[in-house]
Amino acid sequence: MTDGWFADLDPDDEAAAAERIASGRAEAPDDWPATAVDAGFAEDIDDYYDRLHAATTAATEAAVTERETADDQQLVHAVRAMADCERTANELAERVAEWGNSRYGEDGSGVGFARHVAEGELGEGDDRGDRGDRALRGLAERVVAVSEEADGLRAYIERTAPAVAPNLSMLAGPVLAARLISLSGGLESLAKQPSGTVQVLGAEDALFAHLSGGAPSPKHGIIFTHEYVSGTRREERGSAARALAGKLAIAARIDHYSGDRRPDLQRELDERMERIRSRGGDGE
């Protein structure tokens, strides 16, 4: 297109103008405001800029909407919500435990203890309990509800992640795959990360401390939760983390740019890890 983004557009068709702004191009720069006036697209230069502003705003809004409704962004929201629910449930569960232990003399903790309280297994029961019992059970019931919400979100992630990132989910598992995507801000962003960055995602504080001096370089971030890292001997974990991060980086790129499933990635990773574990971590 050599005669401006506005060529052959209805000046009042904002959607078409937004699409042209997003996809159009010109072979060379020109005096576009004057050209638009000469072409009858705008009454004058001020009108041209008003229409350009409206078109660019509409194009930006459409791009933001498309990104936020993309499958990988839905996965990002889900995994962050799951983490919020898990953190909230655990924090409130400790409050229930402190309160319940002081009331009933029971040595319990966690969501499991809160569930016992919520089900009336401790104390006087709903009919005979005093206000303190009822208040504590009410709080415990909320702990259980939030924990169950986290479980529901986890189930959603386990169903959704393999469709969004089949290779990453195959290698990392759906939840870890979703967490990596979330930490990167999206699948496209993750696909552009080098393996060294993938390796330390989630260890930003430790990495900053290392870069600031006085702290060792982190060997891994959240990929430590993968059995191939956490289940490997300490002296070999750096090698294991590098091997895993390398394959995860490749998987993310395939998922973003082509989307076809590559079972060979799993086989190659398994073989690599077997060599690392059997030879004491040959590393690179």
- In this structure, what CATH number is given to the domain that contains residue 182? 1.10.246.90
Cα–Cα distance between 55 and 19 in angstroms, integer?
8
Q: What pLDDT shows up at residue 130?
A: 73
64 shares its domain with 85: no
Q: Give the per-residue pLDDT at 6.
A: 82
Q: pLDDT (tens digit, 9 = 90+) per residue, 96-127?
A: 999 988 888 777 889 999 999 998 877 655 44
State how far the alpha carbon of 259 is from the alpha carbons of 76, 172, 235, 250, 251, in Å.
18, 16, 35, 12, 9
With bands split at pLDDT 50, 70 and 90, how would you rate the model's confidence at 239? very high
Whether the predicted pLDDT of 2 surpasses 60: no
The reported pLDDT for the residue numbered 121 is: 77
> Are residues 271 and 200 part of one domain?
yes
- On whether residue 92 sits in a domain, the answer given is yes
CA angle, 190 as apex, 247 and 60 as ends, to 5°? 155
Q: Which amino acid would we find at residue 188?
A: E
pLDDT for 107: 75
Total domains in the chain come to 3
Domain end residue (candidates: 114, 129, 163): 163
Among the residue ranges 128-132, 158-162, 243-247, 278-282, the one predicted with the least confidence is: 278-282
| pLDDT range class, residue 64, cuts 50, 70, 90 | low
- Same domain? For 172 and 280 the reply is yes
pLDDT band at 1 (very low <50, low <70, confident <90, very high): very low
Q: Are residues 64 and 145 in the same domain?
A: no
Q: Which residue did the predictor score with more confidence, 138 or 107?
A: 138
* pLDDT band of 59, cuts 50, 70, 90: confident
- 199, with CB counted inside 10 A (0-12, 13-18, 19+), is buried
Task: Between 230 and 21, name the one with better pLDDT.
Answer: 230
Is a pLDDT exceeding 50 seen at residue 66?
yes
Q: Which two tokens stand for residue 118?
A: 């919520």
Q: What residues contact 191, with CB distance under 8 A and at least 6 apart?
A: 252, 253, 255, 256, 257
- 30: domain range? 14-68
Residue 14: which residues within 8 A CB-CB, separation 6 or more? 54, 55, 58
176 plus 152 within the same structural domain = no
Under the banding of pLDDT at 50, 70 and 90, the label for residue 24 is: confident
Asked if the model's pLDDT at residue 131 lies above 80, the reply is no
Cβ partners under 8 Å of residue 58, min gap 6:
14, 15, 17, 18, 21
Residue 228: pLDDT above 50? yes
pLDDT, position 106 = 75
